Amino acid sequence: MYDVIIVGAGVVGCAIARELSRYQLQTLVLEKANDVCCGTSKANSAIIHAGFDAKPDTLKAKFNAASHLLFDELSVELDFPFKRNGSLVLCFDEKSLPDLLALKARGDANGVPYLEILSEDEVRKREPAVSKQVVAALYAPTGGIVCPFNLTIALAENACTNGVTFQFNQNVTSIDKLANHFLLHCGDTTYEAKTVVNAAGLFSDVLNNMVSEDHFTIIPRKGEYHLFDKYTGNLVTHTLFQLPTKLGKGILVSPTVDGNLLVGPNATDQDDKEDLETTKDGLDDIMAKAHLSVASIPLNTVITSFSGLRARSEKDDFILGEAPDVPGFFNAASIESPGLTCAPLIGQHMAQLVCARLQPNLNPTFNPVRKGITRFNECSKVEQEQLIQAHPLYSKIVCRCESITEAEILDALTRPLPARDLDGIKRRTRAGAGRCQMGFCLVRNMELIAETLNMPIQEVSKFGRSSTLLVGRNKENL
C-alpha cells in the first residue's frame, strides 16, 4: 500500500514527486514508457516564459508569474542548464502596435517585471539579424531557456535519491476506487494507494474519467520544429516570438542552452494522441513564418526535425486539484504552455494538496541537492586533464559531434535512474544529439548499454518497446 501513486513521469509528475519526497511518504511513480521525459516534456520549445501572454486571473497566469522566478535557485540546486536570455515579441506592422501595448498591459497585470516596448532601432541593437519588417517589440528580460530533458531528469533523480520509487513500462489500464484507497491495474500487476495524482499528460482525461463524473477531454495539439546546427546557434541571442494569435504564440526563433537554434512550432489539433509524424507542409510553413522574424535563417543547417503534442483541454487552463466527487484523486492535467515553466510551482501546489489530506511528517533526511553528469567538453583544459588522470575513460570520445566521453555515458547508465536505451543516453549526455544524429556513435553506445546493463545487444532499443535495432538470424535463414 503506497501513500501516493503519481501516474506520469513527465516534468510535472517528476516535480510533484520531488516535492512529496520532502515528506515521510511511500510514493510511487508509474510511467508507461521506458524512461522519464518521454512524452510532451521531451518535445517542446524549451522556453521559460516571463508570463506576459497568459490571460489574467487564470491558473496559467498565476503560476507562470511566480514559477519562472524559481529557476535561478533550482538550476543551481539540481545542476541543470538554464539561462535568462530574455525574450522579444516582434511586431511587423504599425497597425498592430495597439496589440503589442495590450500584451504589455496584460504582462503588467500578471506581475511580470521590467517589460518594455522597444523601437525598431532598439530591437536591431539587441538583435541585428531580425528582418526588415520588424517595427517594434515587447522586451521581457526575465524570459529564459532551459533543457527540458535535464530539468525533468534532475527532478526525478532527486526524488529517487530521497525515497521515491519509479516503475517504468507500467501502463495504467483501469482504476478502482474502494472505500479508503485505490487499485491501479497495469496489465497483470495491481498497485494500491491511499491517494492518486494524475499527471498523465495527453492521457490525463482517460484516467480522470475512469473514476470521476466530472469529465474533461484532452485535445492533442501538434507542434512541429526544426533544430539547427550549432553553426547557426548564435544567429540570435533572445527568444523571438511573434504577436500571439488564437492558436498560440506563433513561430518562435530561439537559441538553446546547448548552442543550437530552434524554430517552431506550428499548432494543429488532432485526434491521435500518439501521432508524432512531421510533414513537409508543416515544416515549410514554420520556416516561411520564421523568416518573417529572421530572414537569414539557413535551411541547409537543419540537423533534425521533430514534433511534440501539447495536452490542451476545452477548459483552456490548467486543471489542478482534487476531483470534486473522488476524495484522494488529484488532477494535474491540461498542462500546456506555459506548463514547463510552471512545473516547479505546480509540484509544490499539488504536494501541499496531497499532504493536507495525508498529514505526513517531514522527511528529516531530505537533500535538495543533485549533481548532474560532468560535461567533459565544458571543462577547462586543466579540469579535463584532472578528470582523465582520475578516470581514464574521460580520454575516450564516443560522440564526436558533441565531444561526449565514455565516462559520461557510463555515468548515465549507472545513475539513480539510469538510461535504459539510446534515447535515454541522448537525453542525459547529448551523445547522438549533434550533427550526425548518432551516425558515428551508435554502435559504441549500443555496446556500452549491453555491457553495463548485462543484456544481449539485440535487445538494445532506441526508446524501449518495439524499437530494437538489430535482428538476429535464425537457422532457417542461414
Instruction: Burial-class residue 110 by CB neighbours within 10 Å (0-12, 13-18, 19+).
Output: buried
Distance, in Å, from the CA atom of 238 to the CA atom of 261, rounded to the nearest integer, reads 11
Give yes or no: 49 in active site: yes
Residue linked to cell 543551481: 76
Which residue intervals of 162-228 are DSSP H helices?
A: 204-211
Distance, in Å, from the CA atom of 266 to the CA atom of 306, rounded to the nearest integer, reads 12
Which residue intervals of 312-380 are DSSP H helices?
A: 339-358
Contact 56, 107 (CB under 8 A): no
Between vectors from CA 35 to CA 32 and to CA 37, what angle results, nearest 5°? 95
Q: How many CB atoms lie within 10 A of CB 314?
A: 9
Distance, in Å, from the CA atom of 398 to the CA atom of 376, rounded to the nearest integer, reads 12
Contact 253, 232 (CB under 8 A): no
Closest CA to 297 of 207, 353, 228: 228
Cell of 412: 548515465
Terminus-to-terminus CA distance in the chain, angstroms?
51
Between vectors from CA 371 to CA 368 and to CA 377, what angle results, nearest 5°? 155
Catalytic pick among 49, 226, 238, 349: 49
Cα dist. 457→42, 418, 469, 478 in Å? 26, 17, 9, 20
Cell of 140: 521581457
Q: Helices 71-78 & 148-161, crossing angle to 10 degrees? A: 60
Local structure of 394: helix, strand or coil: helix
Distance, in Å, from the CA atom of 136 to the CA atom of 316, rounded to the nearest integer, reads 29
Distance, in Å, from the CA atom of 151 to the CA atom of 85, rounded to the nearest integer, reads 17
Cell of 257: 542552452
Which residues are known catalytic residues?
Answer: 49
